[in-house]
Amino acid sequence: MKKIIVELLEENYDEEQAVKMSAYMKDNFKFAGIPKPKLKELIKPFLKKTSKEQLDWNFVFDLWNEDFREAQYVALEYLQKHHKQLVISDIENLKRLIIEKSWWETVDTIDAFVGEIVLIDSSLKTTMLDWAKADNIWLRRVAIDFQQEYKEKTDTELLAKIIEFNLNSNEFFINKAIGWSLRDYSKINPVWVRDFVEKNRDNMSSLSIKEATKLL
């Protein structure tokens, strides 16, 4: 299957767009120059064909190892089509995707998959606490954000602990994540978020506070 995707990317290579897309991502990755809307259209027949098949992690990792960044985007689209097949043991596979070829645009897609798995087995909340203290900033970011779709199901005690582990950080992607997670939860429980910010204001970055209070 990987060969089909790689050939598709090569056939639609656009050098001008590739340079622009790479620059937008701080030149961290090589691009084929295929914008997301076009990429989704190109792979639609493939995803439709494979949507009822068993989730193939070897295929996902094969794409993750490809040079073109769009290959990782295809892997995530494929996972989205198969997300209902995710099981508890897949948390380790998702961890691998988080820490390899890491950047915000892939990590912020994976955190939703992580969130689905933690809902299946609450014992994985302990794993999220471990991730919240990890050396890898992207694991920390996912730990902070994985409950974003939980709404009323949000474990506020866990959210508070995870954020508290990451206060006083100078890392932009951590401070942004803190703000986003609190802002999203403020749609459900503004009083809790307001109280949390006031309690921890002295240890929160201005960025986190700004994002957290946008809707308050």
Select 1-85's CATH number: 1.25.10.90, 3.30.499.10, 3.40.50.720, 3.30.70.260.
1.25.10.90
Domain spans in the chain, listed from the N-terminal domain onward = 1-85
What integer is the mean pLDDT of 149-176?
97
pLDDT at 2: 87
pLDDT in tens, 171-203: 999 999 999 999 999 999 999 999 999 999 999
Neighbours of 110 (CB within 10 A): 21
Rounded distance between C-alpha atoms, residue 118 and residue 98, angstroms: 16
pLDDT digits over 45-67, tens only? 999 999 889 999 999 999 999 99
